[in-house]
Amino acid sequence: MRQFLAQITKEAGDAALKKFKMAGLKYGTKRNSADIVTEADELANEMLLARIHAKFPRHGIISEETGEYESGREYVWIIDPLDGTRNFLTHTPLWGTMVALSRKGRVITAAIYDPCHHELVLAEKGKGAYRDGAKIRCSSTDDLAYSYGAISAMIKKERLAFTIGLMRHTGGEEVWISGFGSIAVSASSVAAGRRDWFVSSGAYVWDYAAPALILSEAGCKVTNTKGRTWQMNDRALIAANPLLHRKLIRLMK
């Protein structure tokens, strides 16, 4: 299963990469004008669907681009073929392909692939997280004042309130936060210890399923904003090492 997951995630990401920076790339909108989809999203999605249906015809699928197919089945694949579409469209090399497999509502294996930097992160429940075959761990930073966090690039009211709270906690001085514009890139960075924490809200199961398992297997505590273990119906996710996570949760109250 792990080999199949790695293979299809890389294939889809590499197919999208061939259209990166392509002149005349076709794109449109979905739910609103800020929700962009390109022909690269659709191509990667079609490839993933075809490979999964051919290999596991009895499995369900939840995809950002095509919705749900038999999502009540025991095994369900959760895919975001191109996370960070706005970055992709603006020729910014911060985007990725995310695929997860759940069993009875719990994610059991996951992959995040960064095609621009050829990095593949894999995790399996209870077996750790790996980047290109090498085991990765989250950072051990325990002081928010010296931490380097990651959020989505989009600023919402709750995220602004969180940032203000963080600045107050650190004495009103500067705080270091990366707005990558891609949950795939943010989660991989925290899992590998490049960033210390990740806070996100308002996204969907295809945005969080793969990151939640990978971050957890890398040693992070992964919860919703109330501090409860992240579940597939949660619309927010907070991840950090346990010491830092405790402090982040306090800022949410």
Residue spans per domain, the chain: 2-136, 144-251
CA atoms within 13 A on the CB side of 137: 6
State the pLDDT at residue 160: 59
83 belongs to an annotated ligand binding site: yes
Place of tokens 């602004």: 160
For 106, the enclosing helix (H) or strand (E) is strand 106-114
State the pLDDT at residue 69: 83
Sites in the chain below the pLDDT cut of 50: none
State the pLDDT at residue 250: 85
What does the H/E/C string look like for 132-197? CCEEECCCCCCCHHHCEEEECCCCCHHHHHHHHHHHHHCCCCCCEEEECCCHHHHHHHHHCCCCCE
Query: Quick one: angle between helices 2-17 and 39-55, nearest 10?
Result: 160
82 belongs to an annotated ligand binding site: yes
Which class in CATH covers the domain with range 2-136?
alpha beta
Query: Under a CB-based contact definition with an 8 Å cutoff, are residues 39 and 25 in contact?
Result: yes
State the pLDDT at residue 177: 85
Q: Who contacts 161 (Cβ-Cβ below 8 Å, separation ≥6)?
A: none
State the pLDDT at residue 151: 85
State the pLDDT at residue 161: 62
- Sheet with 60-63, strands from edge to edge, namely 67-69, 60-63, 75-83, 96-103, 106-114, 119-124, 129-131, 134-136
Largest CA distance in the chain: 56
65 belongs to an annotated ligand binding site: no
Calculate the CA 153 to chain-centre distance: 13
Question: What CATH fold (topology level) applies to the domain 144-251?
Answer: D-Maltodextrin-Binding Protein; domain 2 (3.40.190)
What single letter denotes the amino acid at residue 11?
Answer: E
Summarised one tens digit per residue, pLDDT across range 11-56 is: 999 999 999 998 778 777 666 556 678 999 999 999 999 999 999 9
State the pLDDT at residue 203: 92
3-state secondary structure of 114: strand
